[in-house]
Every structure is written in structure tokens, then in C-alpha cells.
Amino acid sequence: MRLLYLNGPNLNLLGTREPEKYGRTTLAEVESLVRVRAATHQATIEFRQSNLEGDLVNWIQEAKGQFDWIILNAAAYTHTSIALRDAIAAVQVPTIEIHLSNVHAREEFRHKSLIAPVCQGQITGFGANSYVLALEAAVIGNPH
Ligand code: DQA
């Protein structure tokens, strides 16, 4: 099982960025948590972050044939990016949308996800554990 974790804009600032919303765990620490859990499932992890929408689009396109799942925290692009949505739809690699915070409990503009309709599902509001829960969902696989 090969999993590609993609992180969008400002997630490089985790740990110091609005800790009351996103916690004090850094992105490197989130990655470590995921790696520990992945090892118990014999899953391999690639973990990337970019502030650039085009990088995320390129990485999604390149995932085809390379990864079994994409786990995507698109950050603010969740709410704005048709390009990311189209990339996910195009490559047909099953994708799980994740967020640290519960986007539905926040400002109204965060309630709308442009990527949700082309994702397998959404995990939102569990802090760093959203990343780990997505791994568990991928390992369990598609129940349909
Ligand atoms: C986020 C939620 C988004 O609305 C926000 O723009 C982020 C982080 C989260 O993980 O809670 O940057 O994706």
C-alpha cells in the first residue's frame, strides 16, 4: 500500500500558526505520527507540502500508477480550487480529503469544499489524528 500525503498552503507553519485552531504539532511531527502508524500496516508513505496550487496539481497527476491512495489536506485551496478538483477527477486515484480543524464548525466559506464530490470521503476536525485516521481508512479500503 503506497500512500501519497499532500499538504497545501500554510501547513508548513503548523505548530505556530493559529495553534488554538490547528494545535501545536508541527507538520514534521504529523509526518512522524503517520510514519509510525504506516509501519504497523506495512504501508509506504510519501509526504509533501507546497504553498503553490500548481505543485499540488502536478503531484496529483503524477500519482497515477505510483500510489494507491492520495490523502489530501488542500488547506485553503479546498474552498477555491477547481484545478485540484479536476486533477483528482482526472487521475482516478482514490483520494481522502482531510482537515485538522472541523471546517463545518468554522466560517461559512469553509463549509464548501470543491474537492469533496470527487473524493472518497472527508475526515475533518481530529487535529493531527485526521492524518492517521485517513491512513486507517485507506488500509481498510473501499467497503463498496
Ligand atoms: C484546513 C482548513 C482550511 O479551511 C484552512 O484554509 C487551512 C487548514 C485544516 O486542516 O483545518 O489552511 O485545511
Higher pLDDT, 144 or 30: 30
- 28-31, Cβ contacts within 8 angstroms, sequence gap of 24 or more: 29/128, 30/128, 30/131, 31/5
Ligand 1 atom nearest to 75, measured from its CA: 13
- What torsion, rounded to 10 degrees, do the Cα atoms 17, 19, 23, 29 define? 40
Average of per-residue pLDDT across 63-69: 97
pLDDT of 144 strictly over 70? no
- Look at the pTM and tell me if it is higher than 0.85: yes
Ligand 1 centroid to residue 58 C-alpha, Å: 21
pLDDT of 42 strictly over 90? yes
pLDDT of 93 strictly over 60? yes
pLDDT of 8 strictly over 90? yes
CB contact at 8 A, 28 and 87 = no
- Residue of 5, 77, 99, 131 with catalytic role: 99
Q: What is the mean pLDDT of the chain?
A: 96
Residue having the nearest C-alpha atom to atom 2 of ligand 1: 75
Ligand 1 centroid to residue 52 C-alpha, Å: 15
pLDDT of 86 strictly over 70? yes
For residue 76 and ligand 1, the question of a CB distance below 6 A is answered with: yes
Residue having the nearest C-alpha atom to atom 7 of ligand 1: 75
pLDDT of 141 strictly over 90? no
- Percent helix, strand, coil in the chain, to 5, is 45, 20, 35
pLDDT of 57 strictly over 60? yes
For residue 81 and ligand 1, the question of a CB distance below 6 A is answered with: no
Residue having the nearest C-alpha atom to atom 12 of ligand 1: 75
- Residue 99 known to be catalytic: yes
